[in-house]
Chains A and B, each alone.
Chain A
Amino acid sequence: MSDVWEVLLTLLGVLVVFLLFPLVVGQTEHKVMAHMQGRVGPMYAGGFHGWAQLVADGVKFVQKEDVVPAGADRRVFQLAPAVALLPYLVVLVAIPFAPDGGVGEALDAGIFFVLAVMGVGVLGSLMGGWASANKYSLLGGLRTAAQLLAYELPMLLAAASVAMAAGTVSLVGIVDGFEWWWLPWQLVGGVVFFTAGLAELQRPPFDAPVADSEIIFGAYTEYSGLRFALFLLAEYAGIVVLSALTAVLFLGGWHGPYADGLGWLWTLLKTGILAFAVIWLRVTYPRLREDQIQRFAWTTLIPLALAQIALTGIVKVVI
């Protein structure tokens, strides 16, 4: 019976992380944005710095009416938020956070699993964009698809580079093989991976698919209430997953002083810093235009990723 309990406990742990971390990132985003822009934001709910504002927002979302537009494709419209959110929950299972079995499920082809399942989440936005029967939503869906197609390639190439360096496609194996000098060696790949991930999550400055001044809110225009909150949650869960993945692949995950006992803390710290960077970028960079987004992917990121792969190959042959 102990096996069953172990699996259940793992799943429960993943679920708690999945429910908690995106909210923490969301709250951090509110506060960081407020301070970077020299304003305080909501400060009363809960007392200390308005920490309970997020809970209040959640209650507000639940109370709102869940509207499905008359012309919409009802079932696809209602299914879309779940399709957008669930992949990130599944991905969390495979991310190692501590040495010696500190992972939900050690997969043989972990890196492929993670990237494959993350790509599925975009289907949710596409379904929502199409099923809303709204031209702005459709445009948002189109932009989402174009962006995914452009940025999936550099992301995969950068991940392939680090897999080459470690000689394995297992996430656990990659972290185990990490040495400090991988940091400068895989630096370009890391930047490409992180940037492409940002674009895949449609975070600023790559948020043309939800550009509110052009197409209202893209694929999510017609959503309200809990379903809209689920899309928002998917975005924050995406930030957590992307930051954790970048930390594991390029920053050494649990490696650090006293890694045996404090490995999980190092993973958490690196993930947190990257998540902060995601928020920071949102506050500091203006939105790229749609054609700039495409050009950036095809003419900058892909050549960089290919150069990184060449470099990885050369170094790998030499040593």
Chain B
Amino acid sequence: MSLFKSFKKKIKNEPDPQNQDRGILVFENTSEVIRAENILKTEGWKIKVMGPPPEIRSGCDLVIEFPLIEELYVLRRLTEVGVKPIKVVPVNSVLLKPVDLFQIRDFGRHLMIRAANMKIAVDKKTLMIVNVSGGGCPDVPYLASQMVGKYLTDAPHPGDIGHTLCGYALQIAYDEIRNRCSL
């Protein structure tokens, strides 16, 4: 048996691996679906218009399947053109929600916040971002290079320059640390 096939045995009812990197964009109405489809297809995204799974059927009979990892970039682009989806969910587990738990560590002079797999640390006195860590998508080193050494008041927002779910998680940590630093 080939190496690849020999390891393909999965437990029953596990999510389908072929869809694990796909997400669903849910819109208010079908005309928004069509507008979003036109924009994303024109820009070269691998997307598919399809019927929604039963768990999220809410009136609109179409949704758009898209590359979930690039959620942050896709959402930003659709918001820019005024067709923001009302909901974004993973294809295989449509009831999953983005992480909303924080881990907070106070090192005295420095404060660190973790959201999902992303961490941000600031100097509490100067409000300078001293480190960004965690994550695995390629915008993480890029975001770190753009943010570390800058002040919370001036640093670019991960939501504006990031592209992936890691960038999205960093935005959540970033919002929380700004909140805790009373900004």
B is a partner of A: no
